Amino acid sequence: MFKLGITGGIASGKSTAVAWLKQQHIPCIDADMVAREVVEPNTPGLQAIVKHFGDTVLHTDGTLHRETLGQIVFHNDNERLKLNEILTGYIRARIMELTCQYEQNGEALVMYDIPLMIEGSWHTMMDALWVIYVTKDTQINRLMHRNNYSREDALARIHSQISLDEKRAYATVVIDNNGTEQELYNQLQSAYTRLKVNL
């Protein structure tokens, strides 16, 4: 089974690229979805978060208060690293379980949408890694326009991940998304056509 890793940065257009690839009927393991699964109420993942960060990160119904937790971790590197450390084992186990299921089902190609692809060393198990790339200025402008973030908040979120320039060094394919959406789709089509030849 061919493992295609897709990564980018905040506001790079990775979600748009992944949506296009899903339209090509490529099965997808989505780390964000897995991360939500492992912090559902009464899971060991959520219990570990509450043990470290306290009850303030919970809503009254026992679900995770993502906004509160986000404010803590995006402005404190140590707390962000601690959150990643807490969740990594739970997320990794679930992703490996899903990988086994796809292999048993005989899939030829599976896409992995993992934001911390490189930081979590997931890239080492990929057969190819596509990086959706934009400049930092593009990221800032998109976050300020799309999410109404201040420049300071936009930069804090960008700096919470390794830079896209660093991620490029790991890429087998770089998809430049500084242009139009159609230009993005054209690059994806070209890269996907080349990939299918090698399957």
E strands in 31-127: 109-113
In a shared domain, residues 21 and 43: no
- Residue 99 assigned to a binding site: no
% of the chain beyond a pLDDT of 70: 100
* 106 known ligand binder: no
The CATH number linked to 51 is: 3.40.50.300
Say if residue 13 carries a ligand binding annotation: yes
Range 122-139 average pLDDT: 97
125 and 64 both lie in a single domain: no
pLDDT tens digit string along 55-110? 999 999 999 999 999 999 988 999 999 998 999 899 999 999 999 999 999 999 99
Is 51 labelled as part of a ligand binding site? no
Domain limits at 44?
33-106
What average pLDDT does the chain have?
Answer: 95
Number of folded domains that form the chain: 2
Same domain, yes or no: 89 and 125: no
For 146, residues 6+ apart whose C-beta sits below 8 A from its C-beta are: 11
11 annotated as ligand-binding? yes
pLDDT at 50: 97
